[in-house]
Each structure stands twice: as C-alpha cells, then as structure tokens.
C-alpha cells in the first residue's frame, strides 16, 4: 500500500500527479496519514483511492448544489439534509433552492440513475468526487453512490483562519463488501423509534447499508402482527412497533440507502412467541415473558403441522411488511431440552430416522425455507442453521467464527460475519477493527471469497437502554464500517483511533448521544453538577468484557441501567492516552515523558482521595466506591515508579509488594475495571528490573 503524503503533494510536479494516479488504482487504498490529517485525512471509511491536490474550494454562504441529469426526490432530500448539516457545522445560512445551472454551483451532482427506491443487495454504491478550486463534482451511476459520496464530502469539510473549505481532492470509491450491517436487538430492551432513526443516520454517515432488526426474543416480541395479535399483545409489555412504525423505519432507512432485514428468531429464543401462543411450544406452558439474560428452553414444536400453518400465515404477513429480499430466522442456541423431554417429539424423530436435534432443526429449517421461498424471500440464519443438505440459497450468519464462515463459503453458501463484531462484549474498537471477513492469507479461492458478503456489528441489548445504546454502538461501529468498506490493507490502529475521534464528533449531529449522555448519567448518580472527578475516573475504567457483567453483577431485563457501569464504556479514552505515554516512556527510556506522567499520577491521587469521600456520600455509587481508593493507590504507585526509574534503583521488596497491590487493584468492582493496570505494571517492572545500586541507562 502506498500512502499519499502531504509533503509530496506540495510538489505539484506533473510527474508526481501521474505517479499518484498510477499508484491509486482500484482496490489499492491510498490511505491518509497523520501528515495529511488536515486535508483528506479525516475520512472514515478510507476510500479506494484518494489523491490530494493543492488548493481548496471555499465553503461560503452561497454554497449551492445543482443536479445534472437525474434528480430524484430521494437524492434531493439527502442533499437537503447534507446542506443542513453543513449549516450546523459552519453556522452559515445556505440557500434553500438548488442552482439552476451547474456553472454557478459549488457542488454539481451527476447521479446517472435513481437506483432502487428500496435498496437491494449488490446495488452499485460507487462514486467519484473531484474537488478543485472552483467546484466539487460528485458523479455516480446511481443516487445510492451519490449518497455515499455526499458523506465523504461532509467528512472533508474543515476550517482554518481563512474560513471553511473542502480540500482539492480526487476520490474514486466503492465498497469492498456489499453487506455492511448493524444489528440492533430491539427485543431484550425495546428501542424507541428515535433511537433507531438516529442510528440509521449514523450508519449512513459511515456508509453502512444493512439494518438487521432483531425483533423477537425470549424477552420480547416487538412487531405488531395483525394476523396473530396475541404475539405482540401478550409478548411485549406493550412495547412493540406497529406496522405503520415498521413502514416508517423502512422508509427512513431506504431514504438513506439502507436495507432493513428483519429477524424472527425460531425455533429457540422463542419464549415471547409462546406467551400468547403456547400451542406453538414443545411443552404445554403456560409461558411468561423471560426477564433474565441467557439461553432458555421454550422452543417451537417442529413436529406439528399446526406450527407450520401458523408460521406460513405469520411469515406471509411479515414478507408483505418487509420489502427486503432477505428474512433472518435466527436459529441459534436451541439446546433442544424441550424436544428431549417430549415423548411425541422423540417418537417423531424415531419414525423419521432423525438421529439428533440438529437433524430435527434442519427439518424445521427446510419447512420454513419453503414458506419463505413462496414469498420470494431468501432465508438467512445464524451458524446453527448450517447443516448438511440445506439448499445453498441460504445465507449463513456467522457468530461463531471466521472459520465457520469460510467453511460455509467452501461448501457453496453465502455468508455474513459477526463473530468479532459483537460490540455488546465491550472490547476496544481496535479488536473489532482487525477482524476481517476475508483475512489476508485466506485459503478461499476467489470464487469462494465472493460468497463472503460482508459483516454486521451486533448490538445485543441485554444491557443497553435507549439512554446508553448509542455509547455501545458509536464510535466503535465506525471502525467496523471501515473494515467492511475499505481495502483490507487499511489497518493502522492508531490512525483508526485518530479518525474515530473526528467521526465521533460528526456523528453527534444526528442526535446520537454516545458522548453526551455520560455526563448526564454522572450528574444523576451524583445529584450534582460537579462531575469532573467522576469523569476522570470513568475515563480510566471499562465494564468487564465478554459475558462477565452478568456473572459479577446480577440484573434482569427490568433492572435500571443507570449505574456507573452503564456510564462507562469500552475504549476508556484516558486509559488509551496513558498507555501511549507509558509505551513512549519505556521505549525512549528518557525523562522526556516524566512530567506528563507525573501530572497524571498526582491527578489520580487527588481525584481518588476526593472521590473516596464523594462516592461514600452518593449511595448510588457505593457499589463502585472501592475504585476511588484504587485510583489513589495507583497514583501513589505511579509516582514511586517514576522515582525509582529515575534512580535506576528500587528498594528491596518494592517490586513484589507493588505488583501484589496492583493485582488487588485489578479485581473488578461493580463489574468495572481499570484499563491502565497492565501499563502501570510494566512501569513498575521497568522501575525495578535493576538490582539496587546499579543505575539504569536513563538519559535525557
Ligand atoms: C447469537 O449470538 N446467539 C447469535
């Protein structure tokens, strides 16, 4: 991968431009570096090819747009929203009308066709964006590509002492994968319409194109069924989407070039179905809405014809409601306990020669597939549906791993990856970012690779409320969006984080609350405006990862999600900065970073000491108050470590005592842990690696 660098750009030699053109061929990412950060270096996802050009297009109050050729209403609406966003950032009032002729327009859009009113898989999303000192020209085969290009244009907008401008640039772009999704689980915790809408806006901003809507679960049945009103009527606590609302979301998504793929999880994860329709179950019931997280027994009975009669009517209704060609049937985590315990089901299996529950579920899948096919729908399901003799026209959604996906592709199935993109598990963006649906060095043939359609970030909602969900989705999902759009060679983690900061601020213009709600929550916990100390603590701690949260801090779906753990997030920003400082310090072994580190440690000491008192007095924080003392102690340890590093000497026993103190501090409290312990440990080890009396090579 060849990087375009600003220094080179300054040399406007024609030969360089020619060279740049050559190196930025299709599929070769001409990624930005820190040096170009002020020009096209804030783009996320990174386009297929970017050529920075000297010069800029000023953005002023008469920034007008004109359309060449096609000017469909959907694109017009998109452009109007883009102009409002430019206004929001620039505080300039822009003309409300479009320019009549392209000559006088600052931005000329040429989308050669409207594209599908409701987006489809594999629609052309490519575009080219050329900006010079007089005009920006956005060209695309369809409006869909133009929409993607408009988001790039918005990311290019910047300002300096001369005002707002778009840097001159020549961009050619298209996605690497056609399926780039975000799944939102509206079932475990219902998410109101405005949550979905602002997240659809966020998705469009980073060029995601599939909203996978997880609508049914043990904990809730969230879609109105007019055929079977007891489904949502008894299975949702009154929290469901009416069909009118569903249509509104589909339209909202289509307006932003996003498909909506619904998921109705079956035959397992089905408790909420059975509350109103126990006759579907493999045990008599009665059933009540599940309030706990986990895997539960209630499962549809695959041996009864009445189950399929019911599903035929239900799926016909849903097939009419959701225009997308794909319907997701879940299919995950059915442990078959009700099947094992039901003599009729056991007899059925014996009669049909089905040797285990997988084979029985496969029979179920085939029946559901036939129903979906009748309505022209393609079936999609989680890994578990992947069984021998299932026809190849299903899509395998892999949550178990890249290898499972590759295996499906080898056997001729299409697949979408979500393993590695489980944003509910609280891993840092960097972890997700480096997971590739088709990793470098894949053994898949070119043909097989094409069967890997892309990936989806999955926002499972056991522990998210409308107040916190954005902070779990953003900005990390922008990193996943880049993985799915940009070349695999775009994989510089530090640069990803740099751009994530920029994008994160831009995402706020959609009303996303990923940043702002933290302070709201801290104010509520403290019942005070004075949140600075608690914010400092939260910037260093993260919720425990994987599924440890529930193990350490039992809650149900009815519990308030308003604790300190809910205010904290993955990728604690202060922690990342601290880790960087320690890394630099230990690499350089110079006193250069000492003052910065010392300031941090003194601040930890002071903050920790004050918080011990504050948190003792704020009862909502009692569960986490041990973190305050830990912070104070880490400050002390840090200062000692710096001193010993400078001395090249540490007292006998200091290393052991200190490491064991850190081990104690590393134990989570209220399911929260410091994200700086490892770095502090490294500092302590470095400060004590020399025998007393022998000076280290510390130098200026
Ligand atoms: C899943 O995580 N059970 C799809």
pLDDT at res. 3: 32
Q: Is the pLDDT of residue 366 over 50?
A: yes
- pLDDT given for residue 390 in this prediction: 87
Answer whether 332 contacts ligand 1 (Cβ < 6 A): yes
Atom of ligand 1 nearest to the CA of 330: 4
Q: How far is the CA of 20 from the centre of ligand 1 (A)?
A: 45
The answer to whether residue 114 scores a pLDDT higher than 70 is: yes
User: 322 CB less than 6 Å from ligand 1?
Assistant: no
Domains and CATH numbers, the chain: 7-29+528-689 (no CATH), 49-173 (3.30.379.10), 179-514 (3.20.20.80)
Which of 690 and 51 is assigned the larger pLDDT? 51
Q: Does 317 sit in the ligand 1 pocket, CB within 6 Å?
A: no
Q: What is the mean pLDDT of residues 330-354?
A: 97
Would you say the CB of residue 382 lies under 6 angstroms from ligand 1? Answer: yes
pLDDT category, 241, cuts 50, 70, 90?
A: very high
Helix, strand or coil for residue 694?
coil
Best of 332, 423, 456 for a ligand 1 pocket test (most atoms within 8 Å of beta carbon): 332
> Which residues have C-beta within 8 Å of that of residue 611, sequence separation ≥ 6?
533, 534, 537, 625, 627, 628, 631
The pLDDT score that the predictor gives to residue 32 is: 40
The answer to whether residue 333 is catalytic is yes
pTM of the complete model: 0.93
Query: Residue 164 pLDDT more than 90?
Result: yes
Please give the pLDDT value at position 101. Answer: 86
Q: What is the pLDDT of residue 318?
A: 98
Ligand 1 pocket residue status of 5, Cβ below 6 Å:
no
Q: Average pLDDT in the 293-300 region?
A: 98
583-637 pLDDT, tens digit each: 999 998 888 899 999 999 999 999 999 999 999 999 999 999 999 999 999 999 9
pLDDT at 210: 99
Percent with pLDDT over 90 in the chain: 88
Predicted confidence (pLDDT) at residue 441 exceeds the cutoff of 50: yes
Q: Is the pLDDT of residue 2 over 60?
A: no
* Interior angle at CA 495, CA 492 and CA 499, nearest 5: 135
421 lines ligand 1 (CB under 6 A): no
Q: Which residues contact 601 (CB under 8 A, 6 or more apart)?
A: 634, 635, 636, 638, 639, 642
Residue 15, pLDDT > 50, answer no
Task: Give the contacts of 249 (CB within 8 A, at least 6 positions apart).
Answer: 193, 196, 197, 200, 211, 213, 241, 260
Measured in Å, residue 330 CA sits from the centre of ligand 1 at 8
Q: How confident is the model at residue 38 (pLDDT cuts 50, 70, 90)?
A: low
Q: How confident is the model at residue 88 (pLDDT cuts 50, 70, 90)?
A: very high
CA of 673 to the centre of ligand 1 (A): 26
> Rounded to the nearest whole angstrom, what is the distance from the C-alpha of residue 341 to the centroid of ligand 1?
24
Catalytic entry in 5, 120, 317, 333:
333
Say if residue 40's pLDDT is above 90: no
DSSP H or E run through 504: helix 493-507
CA of 656 relative to ligand 1 center, distance in Å: 43
Give yes or no for residue 399 CB within 6 A of ligand 1.
Answer: yes
**Contact call for residues 55 and 133 (beta carbons, < 8 A):** yes
What is the CA(230)–ligand 1 centre distance, in A? 26
CA distance 532 to 427: 25
Of 255, 29, 286, 28, nearest to 150 by C-alpha is 255
* Size (the chain), residues: 700
Q: What confidence tier does 387 reach under pLDDT thresholds 50, 70, 90? A: confident
The rounded Å distance from CA 459 to ligand 1 centre is 11
Residue 389 banded pLDDT, cuts 50, 70, 90 = confident
Is residue 34 scored above 50 in pLDDT? no
Computed over every residue of the chain, the mean pLDDT equals 93
The answer on pLDDT for 315 being more than 90 is: yes
Least confident of 6-15, 60-69, 419-428, 573-582: 6-15
Q: Sorting pLDDT into bands at 50, 70 and 90, what band is 25? A: very low
Position 690 confidence tier, pLDDT thresholds 50, 70, 90 = low
pLDDT above 70 (res 20): no
Find out whether the beta carbon of 333 lies less than 6 Å from any atom of ligand 1: yes
Rounded to whole angstroms, the Cα distance separating 27 from 175 reads 9
How much distance in Å is there from the Cα of 419 to the middle of ligand 1? 9
Question: To test the ligand 1 pocket, which listed residue (382, 385, 421, 423) has its Cβ within 8 A of the most ligand atoms?
Answer: 382
Q: Which residues touch 382 (CB under 8 Å, ≥6 apart)?
A: 330, 331, 332, 396, 397, 398, 399
For residues 101-114, give the mean pLDDT: 93
* DSSP SS3 for 425: helix
d(CA 45, CA 484): 9
Average pLDDT over residues 170-193: 98
pLDDT at 692: 47
Neighbours of 629 (CB within 10 A): 16
Atom of ligand 1 nearest to the CA of 382: 4
């Amino acid at each position: 991968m060849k990087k375009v660098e600003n220094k080179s750009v300054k040399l406007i030699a024609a030969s360089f431009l020619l060279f740049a053109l050559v190196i930025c061929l299709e599929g070769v990412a001409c990624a930005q570096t820190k040096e170009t950060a002020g020009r096209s270096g804030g783009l996320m996802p990174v386009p297929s090819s970017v050529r920075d050009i000297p010069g800029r297009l000023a953005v002023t109050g008469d920034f007008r747009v004109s359309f060449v050729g096609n000017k469909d209403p959907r694109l017009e609406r998109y452009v109007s929203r883009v102009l409002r966003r430019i206004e929001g950032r620039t505080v300039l009032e822009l003309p409300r009308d479009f320019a009549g002729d392209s000559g006088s327009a600052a931005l000329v859009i040429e989308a050669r066709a409207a594209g599908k009113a409701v987006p489809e898989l594999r629609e052309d999303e490519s575009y080219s964006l050329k900006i010079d000192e007089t005009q920006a020209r956005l060209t695309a085969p369809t409006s869909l590509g133009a929409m993607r290009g408009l988001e790039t244009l918005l990311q290019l907008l910047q300002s300096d002492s001369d005002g707002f401008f778009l840097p001159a640039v020549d961009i050619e772009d298209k996605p690497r994968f056609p399926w780039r999704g975000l799944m939102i689980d509206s079932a475990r915790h219902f998410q109101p319409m405005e949550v979905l809408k602002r997240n659809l806006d966020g998705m469009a901003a980073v060029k995601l194109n599939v909203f996978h809507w997880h609508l049914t679960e043990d904990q809730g049945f969230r879609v109105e069924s007019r055929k079977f009103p007891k489904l949502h009527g008894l299975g949702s606590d009154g929290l469901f989407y009416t069909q009118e609302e569903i249509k509104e979301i589909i339209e909202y998504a289509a307006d932003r070039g996003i498909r909506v793929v619904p998921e109705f999880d079956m035959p397992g994860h089905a408790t909420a179905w059975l509350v109103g329709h126990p006759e579907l179950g493999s045990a008599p019931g009665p059933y009540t809405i599940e309030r706990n997280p986990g895997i539960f027994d209630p499962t549809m009975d695959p041996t009864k014809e009445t189950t399929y009669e019911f599903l035929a009517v239900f799926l016909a209704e849903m097939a009419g409601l959701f225009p997308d060609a794909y319907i997701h049937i879940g299919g995950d985590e059915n442990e078959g306990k009700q099947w094992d315990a039901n003599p009729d089901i056991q007899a059925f299996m014996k009669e049909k020669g089905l040797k285990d529950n997988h084979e029985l579920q496969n029979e179920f899948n085939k029946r559901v597939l036939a129903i979906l096919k009748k309505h022209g729908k393609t079936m999609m399901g989680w890994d578990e549906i992947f069984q021998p003799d299932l026809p190849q026209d299903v899509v395998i959604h892999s949550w178990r791993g890249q290898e499972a996906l590759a295996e499906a592709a080898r056997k001729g199935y299409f697949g979408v990856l979500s393993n590695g993109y489980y944003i509910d598990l609280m891993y840092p963006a960097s972890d997700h970012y480096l997971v590739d649906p088709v990793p470098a060095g894949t053994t898949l043939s070119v043909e097989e690779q094409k069967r890997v359609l892309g990936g989806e970030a999955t926002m499972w909602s056991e522990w998210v409320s409308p107040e916190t969900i954005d902070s779990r989705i953003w900005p990390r999902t922008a990193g996943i969006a880049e993985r799915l759009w940009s070349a695999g060679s775009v994989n510089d983690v530090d640069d990803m984080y740099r751009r994530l900061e920029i994008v994160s601020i831009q995402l706020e213009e959609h009303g996303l609350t990923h940043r702002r709600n933290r302070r709201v929550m801290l104010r509520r916990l403290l019942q005070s405006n004075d949140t600075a100390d608690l914010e400092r603590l939260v910037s260093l701690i993260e919720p425990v990862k994987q599924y440890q949260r529930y193990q350490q801090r039992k809650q149900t779906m009815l519990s308030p999600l308003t604790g300190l753990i809910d205010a904290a997030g993955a990728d604690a920003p202060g922690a990342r900065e601290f880790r960087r400082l320690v890394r630099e310090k230990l690499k350089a072994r110079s006193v250069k970073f000492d003052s910065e580190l010392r300031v941090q440690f003194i601040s930890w000491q002071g903050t920790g000491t004050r918080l011990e008192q504050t948190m003792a007095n704020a009862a909502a924080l009692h569960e986490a108050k041990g973190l305050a003392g830990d912070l104070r102690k880490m400050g002390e340890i840090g200062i000692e470590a710096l001193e010993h590093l400078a001395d090249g000497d540490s007292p006998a026993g200091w290393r052991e005592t200190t490491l064991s103190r850190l081990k104690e501090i590393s134990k989570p409290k209220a399911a929260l842990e410091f994200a700086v312990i490892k770095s502090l440990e490294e500092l302590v080890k470095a400060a004590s690696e020399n025998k007393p009396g022998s000076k280290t090579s510390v130098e200026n």
